Amino acid sequence: DGGITQSPKYLFRKEGQNVTLSCEQNLNHDAMYWYRQDPGQGLRLIYYSQIVNDFQKGDIAEGYSVSREKKESFPLTVTSAQKNPTAFYLCASSADRGRIQPQHFGDGTRLSIL
């Protein structure tokens, strides 16, 4: 079955450490997104990419970085500059933007601070 795979499911970060969250999709979707979900808040957009080798900052990009070297992969790095990284991170993808399409989500990575 086609879908989005996020790994790991749980991740722990030490102070001053960078960590990378993996997101892979086999839906052949052009667009991919990273969201952050905190308790009691709506999802907030970190970064998005509409095509390989191109990506745009979302509302809360500070302290995060991404790459899009392959269509199916969109990894997110949480850098040491992100002072409050504890959250549930969701990756999503959607098909061609010529018409309105739903975003398909992975099952998330929960990041905590050691």
Partner 1 sequence: KNQVEQSPQSLIILEGKNCTLQCNYTVSPFSNLRWYKQDTGRGPVSLTIMTFSENTKSNGRYTATLDADTKQSSLHITASQLSDSASYICVWGSGGGADGLTFGKGTHLIIQP
Contact footprint for partner 1 (CB under 8 A)? 4, 6, 31, 33, 40-45, 48, 56, 58, 90, 92, 94, 97, 100, 102-108, 110
Chain Cα centroid distance, residue 14: 20
In 3-state terms, the chain is what percent helix, strand and coil (to 5)? 0, 50, 50
Q: Rank residues 77 and 95 by Cβ distance to partner 1 and give the closer one.
A: 95
CB 10 within 8 A of CB 19: no
Residue number, 4 or 111, with CB nearest to partner 1: 4
CB of 16 to partner 1, least distance (A): 28
**Shortest spacing between CB 62 and partner 1, in angstroms:** 17
Which is nearer to partner 1, 11 or 45 (by Cβ)?
45
Angle at 53 between CA 89 and CA 62, to 5 degrees: 40
